[in-house]
């Protein structure tokens, strides 16, 4: 089975009509985010540097405008590296940095996975498939409520790791390493019913999962 790493905006629009409008809204200014690049200006007035991005800009005839960096042509990738310092971080590097945070939080190493270096020098990780155990003074709820900041832009590789942004290689759910990936794993290991999923946090903290 072929794994598609691109997101199909038309599918989202059809199945969840309001979701794209929510995603495109800047929660600070309450206005739509804008392109902030001249890479799309040849497409018309709605694709200039300061033009707001709306649902129509990325669906139907425009459904291929937005794509993962790895699928963009090499010339455009090099241009964005030169002009915007757009360099993506390999998943194994993200994993090691996130592991460092968890090492401190749990006060032990290799909680979620362990780095593996192969004979040819490539680096990956082996997942700890056992249920995560917590320190005596902390609970799984403390981990879910812990706020962590995703400091990189673009495809947010520290937040969730659907695929390696440098190679395009799909990462199965069980092997994912992002902040949100880890929180969702913790919840899945400790919550078994749909009703419990919806009520794990106090009302005022129901957006905690997004504050990673």
Q: Tokens 């405008």, residue?
A: 65
Same domain, 100 and 61: no
Judge if pTM exceeds 0.75: no
Where residue 92 falls among pLDDT bands split at 50, 70, 90? very high
Among 52, 67, 82, the domain boundary falls at 67
What is the per-residue pLDDT for 206? 46
E strand intervals along 102-196: 113-117, 123-127
Same domain, 96 and 192: yes
What is the per-residue pLDDT for 75? 46
**Highest mean pLDDT, choosing among 32-36, 78-82, 112-116, 190-194:** 112-116
In a domain, 82, yes or no: no
Same domain, 149 and 46: no
What is the chain's mean pLDDT, rounded? 83
Same domain, 95 and 55: no
Same domain, 99 and 202: yes
Same domain, 107 and 33: no
Chain-centre distance of CA 171, in angstroms? 12
- Strand 113-117 versus strand 123-127 pairing type: antiparallel
In a domain, 48, yes or no: yes
Same domain, 139 and 188: yes
Nearest to 68 by CA among 7, 1, 157: 7
What is the per-residue pLDDT for 1? 46
> Which one is predicted more confidently, 80 or 165?
165
118, HSE (Cβ side, Cα atoms, 13 Å): 7
Same domain, 124 and 199: yes
In a domain, 75, yes or no: no
Domain holding 156, by residue range, is 91-210
Look at residue 158 and tell me whether its pLDDT is greater than 70: yes
Same domain, 190 and 115: yes
Q: How many domains does the chain have?
A: 2
Look at residue 212 and tell me whether its pLDDT is greater than 80: no
What is the per-residue pLDDT for 64? 81
Please state which of the ranges 41-45, 136-140, 203-207 shows the lowest mean pLDDT: 203-207
Dmax over CA atoms of the chain, in Å, equals 59
In a domain, 81, yes or no: no
Q: Distance (Å, rounded) from C-alpha 205 to C-alpha 196?
A: 15
Q: Kindly list the distances between the CA atom of residue 54 and the CA atoms of 17, 51, 58, 124, 205, in Å, as whole numbers in the listed order.
A: 13, 9, 7, 38, 29
Same domain, 18 and 100: no
What is the per-residue pLDDT for 79? 53
pLDDT digits (tens, 9 = 90+) for 95-126: 999 999 999 999 999 999 999 999 888 899 99
Same domain, 192 and 117: yes
Same domain, 62 and 113: no
């Amino acid at each position: 089975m072929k794994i598609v790493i691109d997101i199909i905006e038309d599918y989202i629009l059809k199945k969840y009509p309001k979701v794209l409008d929510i995603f495109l809204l800047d929660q600070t200014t309450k206005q739509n985010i804008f392109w902030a690049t001249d890479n799309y200006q040849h497409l018309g007035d709605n694709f200039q540097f300061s033009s707001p991005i709306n649902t129509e800009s990325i669906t139907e005839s425009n459904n291929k405008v937005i794509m993962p960096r790895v699928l963009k042509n090499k010339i455009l990738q090099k241009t964005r590296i030169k002009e915007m310092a757009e360099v993506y971080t390999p998943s194994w590097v993200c994993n090691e940095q996130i592991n460092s945070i968890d090492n401190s939080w749990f006060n032990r190493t290799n909680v979620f996975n362990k780095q593996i270096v192969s004979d040819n020098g490539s680096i990956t990780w082996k997942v700890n498939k056992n249920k995560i155990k917590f320190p005596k003074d902390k609970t799984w709820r403390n981990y879910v409520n812990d706020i962590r900041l995703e400091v990189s832009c673009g495809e947010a590789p520290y937040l969730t790791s659907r695929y390696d942004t440098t190679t395009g290689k799909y990462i199965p759910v069980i092997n994912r390493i992002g902040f949100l990936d880890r929180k969702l794993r913790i919840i899945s290991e400790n919550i078994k019913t749909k009703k419990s999923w919806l009520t794990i946090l106090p009302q005022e903290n129901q957006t905690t999962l997004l504050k990673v």
